[in-house]
Structure 1
């Protein structure tokens, strides 16, 4: 069973942090051909935590948990290595991230911005569309939310 880890950037071993960030850049910038500032400063916010799944010593998937403000949490930067897709890494991370958001802010909604083709996948975790679709770096996205009433 793959291991799931969670830590603030300052607590992560530099080699592991490099591998997490390399995975994100590989997926979002290279594979999806979206030239944007992947390192946006949010990873080092005081309440930000990175989560990642490790299989056979390699980072298989990652995401981050952020506090949007005092009344909302956010999950973002969900990425899975190509070799690890379809094995449930991201699903296990999403379950753990939702649980972590509930620990941090039990009554706060959890927001995320999903690529449109993943709307149903995020729906499996209780997220619903929360606004109109929009383009980000040429990729259709939608805002989604998981309210506190979702079990």
Structure 2
């Protein structure tokens, strides 16, 4: 899988369409969650894209400190269902952490993690903070990496 980093204005329409399609495929259809994915935040984000054989199979969006949380943040972490067995979740997250370090000069990162992924995010150095809460009807927990 090849990783590319793009600001919103650097995405072409085909890339943007593929990103939105992947997010909808996983977050809306697979997870059966009706929510507003197009939240107006994509224009501020740096987009971390995992491409394999011409197809976007993994993706995150990262934010500078103060854009979403006080800390830098990573969101919309997604890997295409048929590609999860290859460890692309870890690859895209490591690329996202590196992008935050390079783009924003910080290692202090906050995420809103789906609770069932706690072990995965712990393995990347994130620690849970606070109580579990519902976000779009799905249990989440706030996590920080310093």
Q: Do both proteins adopt the same fold according to a TM-score greater than 0.5, normalized to the shorter chain?
A: yes
Q: Does 1:65 align with 2:62?
A: yes
Q: Does 1:31 align with 2:62?
A: no
CA distance in 2, matches of 1:112, 1:32: 19
Displacement of 1:13 after TM fit?
A: 1.6
1:109-120 equivalences in 2 (<5 Å):
109-120=108-119
CA distance in 2, matches of 1:26, 1:136: 18
- 1:75-109 CA distances to partner (integer Å, 9 max, x unpaired)? 00001111111212121111111111112333452
1:1-151 equivalences in 2 (<5 Å):
2-45=1-44, 48-69=45-66, 72-107=71-106, 109-147=108-146
- 1:41-97 CA distances to partner (integer Å, 9 max, x unpaired)? 11102xx21111111111111000012418520000001111111212121111111
Structure 1 gaps of 5+ residues are none
CA gap of 1:36–1:107, structure 2 versus 1, over 3 A, is: same
Paired residues, number? 144
